[in-house]
Amino acid sequence: MAPGILSPDKTHSTNVLSSSLKEESGIKSQRNKEHELVLKTFRLLISDLCQQFNGGHPGGAIGMAAIGIALWKYVMRYAPLQPEFFNRDRFVLSNGHTCLFQYTFLHLTGYRDMTMDQLKSYHSKRWDSICPGHPEIEIEGIEVTTGPLGQGVANAVGLAMATKNLAATYNLPGFDIVSNHTWCMIGDACLQEGVALEAISFAGHLKLNNLTIIYDNNQITCDGSVDLTNTEDVNAKMMACGWDVIDVEDGCYDIDGIVAALERARASADKPTFINVRTIIGLDSSVAGQAEAHGAAFGADDVKRMKRSYGFNEDEYFVVGDEVRQFFSDLPSRGEQIVSQWNDLVKKYADAHPLLAEEFQRRRSGKLPSDWKTLIPSPDKFPDKPLATRASSGLMINPLAKAINSFMVGTADLSPSVHMAWDGKQDFQHPNLRTACGINGSYAGRYIHYGVREHAMCAISNGMAAFAPGTFIPITSSFFMFYLYAAPAVRMGALQRLKVIHAATHDTIGMGEDGPTHQPIELAALFRSMPNLLYIRPADSEETAGAWIAAIEAQDASSIISTSRHKVPQLKQTRRDGVAKGAYVIQEDDDAQLTLIGVGAELSHVLDAAVVLRETKGIRCRVVSFPCQRLFESQSLDYKRNTLRRHRNIPAVVVEPYAPNGWERYADASISVRRFGHSLPGPEAYKYFGFDVDSIVSKVSDYWMRISQDEILRREFVDL
């Protein structure tokens, strides 16, 4: 017998729920006949939608048809006419390429925007289509944008954590005002991606019984049989990770069996549930069960053949008959009823618990307490001594995170280094957890030990942020270098314009001894060019205050606040409102010959160098502090010109120990690093790479001499 999940080892006592339609074919009930018609209609509709522009992903959607009926008709609690109903079940399609599955059920169940006309825009030339190649959060009924595999699993964990936290914070006896379940659909591929494996392990640890993964187990990926690449015992692996496992043998037809499994999952006492549903990709097409069913239309002839074999008219397209419409017709009104019952409950809750209800209402509306900014210390509260900007980061955000329960703050196992834990913080943990350290867990806790799982941390945070706009502001933290592990999730957060704030410490070569594997030379170029993301490098406590304010005030953007491991001086000239503009003149000189651009932890070196240049070389430099390129870009042309003064032919030199890529827009020369780093104590690393004050002075004065002698050099970007 071949290894793998097609042959589950019964000794692991998984639970097989099954009731085959086929066996009772002689006495099919009306309901089963309806199911059969809906299944056929759905499968042909998917086939037609892919056929019209000869592309798309039909196979998975078709294989999952019965799962969709079980979910949308029988199990999920939602309101098609009020897609944003707060206590709705969340559905995440982690195998996002099967998006037609979701679009079609949104259409059938009565979501207003998802018209048949829109469905037909899938893969069309319409730029205003709401049926893109992967589900996007902007579309009603879509909870998160998915596509890059595995992300959805972690998003779902975040959504389930959001529910747990709100429930633990606001639910009271008789008032389960937050009680929704999160359902996550995955394919074989999601189970191979590291980010999903991290999130699965973490969800098991947290005992998220309000989370269910539904595994579309068709044993096919692009390259063919899953056996080519993965022969592990998936059920046993899930159980080892702390999940309940339920098997459904006949996932193509056994709607009752799937419903039973889903209901049992919703009732799980203290574990997340993994439902392993065997399906057949591209069922009833001529490529059923094959990789060819995955990412291509079946061909016009084959779709016609399918229609004939189903008893449909082969020349009719996009057919949804009255019986099928009828079958789904109760869902909008059922949804309205669910919403109305919940509204009643919340009204009673408000009467009984007005203060809590008020806070709950504020958070539902996506707002922070109006005085939040006063919690961030003013300069007179800063320690009057050099401070690592990572410590400044804690100084700014700890009081906010402590006082305002919208903040969910986590770290990928670097609590002692990232300064994100506040006095008296309570951990987000299952209430029964008693660790070796004696920590009491609670889902009401808002400090999250993610383990060494950077990628899952950020993808989970996206899920929390997506629960409802502004209800949560998730904060992640790690060394800046390790945000490369998490970059796909940071990107997904930015793409979805989710307000997630990443506190990245130990930036540049200043972080020292850990060496080139930990020195993020080229990462700033990535995050500075990533749309909808603010990459902010503050220079001292004041700028760090500005960075946090900018990140929290940013509309529709994620942020990275990038801080130093080592202590930096408190500069007198820095301004938090300067950070909001991305760059600002920190030291003006109307007769300046050069502009020096300083950034983050090295700004103080630049200010010192400017003094030495004037005093010993007679070169007059103005200095610009430049914490965030994207914020600067959104300023007026006038502001930008007056800040940089390149229009007055004053050359600018940027000083930052990163790859210079992108600075060429703002400067004429750079003191930068174009190789990997080196393991040395921070101050030595600065010297070794030429970022100490002496080196800066010597390079800048040399540059000034060269451009004085060579006009052409002025037209080229120069690496000093």
- CA-nearest of 296, 301, 302 to 55 is 296
> Which of 171, 179, 230, 698 contacts a second copy by CB under 8 A?
230
Q: If residue 470 lies in a helix (H) or strand (E), which one and from where to where?
A: none
Q: In terms of C-beta distances under 8 Å and separation of at least 24 residues, what long-range contacts does 428-433 make, across chains too?
A: 428/161, 428/164, 428/165, 428/206, 429/206, 430/205, 430/206, 430/207, 430/270, 432/207, 432/270
Q: Taking CB under 8 A as the criterion, which residues in 88-117 touch a second copy? A: 96-97
* Cβ atoms of residues 476 and 94 within 8 Å: no
Query: Residue 228 CB, nearest distance to a second copy (Å)?
Result: 5
Neighbours of 503 (CB within 10 A): 28
As a whole number of angstroms, the distance between CA 156 and CA 182 comes to: 6
Query: Residue 68 CB, nearest distance to a second copy (Å)?
Result: 22
Applying CB under 8 A, does 485 fall inside the site for a second copy? yes
Query: Residue 704 CB, nearest distance to a second copy (Å)?
Result: 18
Applying CB under 8 A, does 503 fall inside the site for a second copy? no
Query: Residue 123 CB, nearest distance to a second copy (Å)?
Result: 5
Q: In sequence order, what E strands does 373-412 have?
A: 387-388, 407-411
Residues in the chain: 720
Applying CB under 8 A, does 517 fall inside the site for a second copy? yes
Stretch that binds a second copy, among 25-33, 260-268, 499-507, 674-682 (CB under 8 A): 674-682
Whether residue 454 lies in the annotated active site? yes
Tokens of 161: 């954590």
Q: Classify residue 461 by burial, with Cβ atoms within 10 Å: 0-12, 13-18, 19+.
A: buried
Q: Taking CB under 8 A as the criterion, which residues in 54-73 touch a second copy? A: 55-56
Query: Residue 119 CB, nearest distance to a second copy (Å)?
Result: 14
Q: Tell me whether strands 182-186 and 211-217 are parallel, antiparallel or unpaired.
A: parallel
Stretch that binds a second copy, among 40-48, 339-347, 464-472, 482-490 (CB under 8 A): 482-490
Between 286 and 415, whose beta carbon lies closer to a second copy?
A: 415
Q: Taking CB under 8 A as the criterion, which residues in 119-148 touch a second copy? A: 123-125, 127, 129, 132-134, 136, 145-148
Applying CB under 8 A, does 469 fall inside the site for a second copy? no
Q: Taking CB under 8 A as the criterion, which residues in 536-575 touch a second copy? A: none
Q: If residue 456 lies in a helix (H) or strand (E), which one and from where to where?
A: helix 454-466
Q: Tell me whether strands 407-411 and 182-186 are parallel, antiparallel or unpaired.
A: unpaired
As a whole number of angstroms, the distance between CA 367 and CA 349 comes to: 20
> Which of 213, 288, 409, 526 contacts a second copy by CB under 8 A?
526
> Which of 50, 100, 460, 492 contacts a second copy by CB under 8 A?
492
Q: Taking CB under 8 A as the criterion, which residues in 147-166 touch a second copy? A: 147-150
Between 381 and 434, whose beta carbon lies closer to a second copy?
A: 434
Query: Residue 204 CB, nearest distance to a second copy (Å)?
Result: 6
> Which of 316, 323, 615, 664 contacts a second copy by CB under 8 A?
664
Query: Residue 225 CB, nearest distance to a second copy (Å)?
Result: 4
As a whole number of angstroms, the distance between CA 581 and CA 630 comes to: 9
Beta bridge partners, 183, equal 91, 212
**Per-residue string for binding with a second copy, 434-453, x by CB under 8 A?**
xxxx-x---------xxxxx
Between 94 and 180, whose beta carbon lies closer to a second copy?
A: 94
Between 360 and 482, whose beta carbon lies closer to a second copy?
A: 482
- Can you give the C-alpha Rg of the chain in angstroms? 29
DSSP-H helix ranges across 72-145: 99-109, 116-119
> Which of 617, 661, 698, 706 contacts a second copy by CB under 8 A?
661
Query: Residue 486 CB, nearest distance to a second copy (Å)?
Result: 10
Query: Residue 676 CB, nearest distance to a second copy (Å)?
Result: 5
As a whole number of angstroms, the distance between CA 34 and CA 135 comes to: 28
Q: How many residues bind a second copy (CB under 8 A)?
A: 129
Between 399 and 660, whose beta carbon lies closer to a second copy?
A: 660
Applying CB under 8 A, does 173 fall inside the site for a second copy? no
Beta bridge partners, 354, equal none
SS3 content of the chain, % helix, strand, coil (to 5): 45, 15, 40
Q: Taking CB under 8 A as the criterion, which residues in 575-604 touch a second copy? A: none
Q: Which residues of 562-571 are buried (b: 16+ CB within 10 A; e: fewer)?
A: bbbbbebebb
For 560-598, the three-class secondary structure string (H helix, E strand, C coil) is EEECCCCEECCCCCCCHHHHHCCCEEEECCCCCCEEEEE
Q: Taking CB under 8 A as the criterion, which residues in 388-427 touch a second copy? A: 411, 413-417, 427
> Which of 242, 282, 546, 657 contacts a second copy by CB under 8 A?
242
Query: Residue 589 CB, nearest distance to a second copy (Å)?
Result: 20
Query: Residue 320 CB, nearest distance to a second copy (Å)?
Result: 24
Q: Taking CB under 8 A as the criterion, which residues in 250-269 touch a second copy? A: none
> Which of 72, 91, 328, 482 contacts a second copy by CB under 8 A?
482
- As a whole number of angstroms, the longest Cα–Cα distance in the chain is 99
Applying CB under 8 A, does 484 fall inside the site for a second copy? yes
- CA-nearest of 213, 198, 99 to 160 is 213
Catalytic residue of the set 193, 292, 454, 542: 454
> Which of 665, 694, 702, 705 contacts a second copy by CB under 8 A?
665
**Per-residue string for binding with a second copy, 185-214, x by CB under 8 A?**
---xxx-xxxxxxx--xx-xx---------
Between 127 and 423, whose beta carbon lies closer to a second copy?
A: 127
Between 386 and 662, whose beta carbon lies closer to a second copy?
A: 662
Stretch that binds a second copy, among 162-170, 313-321, 555-563, 669-677 (CB under 8 A): 669-677
Applying CB under 8 A, does 708 fall inside the site for a second copy? no
Q: Classify residue 684 by burial, with Cβ atoms within 10 Å: 0-12, 13-18, 19+.
A: middle
Between 334 and 430, whose beta carbon lies closer to a second copy?
A: 430
DSSP-H helix ranges across 314-374: 322-328, 331-352, 354-364
Stretch that binds a second copy, among 262-270, 336-344, 506-514, 601-609 (CB under 8 A): 506-514
Query: Residue 268 CB, nearest distance to a second copy (Å)?
Result: 17
Between 21 and 420, whose beta carbon lies closer to a second copy?
A: 420
Applying CB under 8 A, does 513 fall inside the site for a second copy? yes
Applying CB under 8 A, does 523 fall inside the site for a second copy? yes
Residue that has been written with the tokens 């004085």 in this structure: 708
Q: Taking CB under 8 A as the criterion, which residues in 268-307 touch a second copy? A: 291, 295
Query: Residue 495 CB, nearest distance to a second copy (Å)?
Result: 5
Stretch that binds a second copy, among 61-69, 77-85, 222-230, 383-391 (CB under 8 A): 222-230
As a whole number of angstroms, the distance between CA 490 and CA 482 comes to: 11
For 157-184, the three-class secondary structure string (H helix, E strand, C coil) is HHHHHHHHHHHHHHCECCECCCCCCEEE
C-alpha torsion angle, residues 476, 477, 478, 481 (rounded to 10)? 70
* Start-to-end C-alpha separation, the chain: 66
- State the catalytic residues: 454
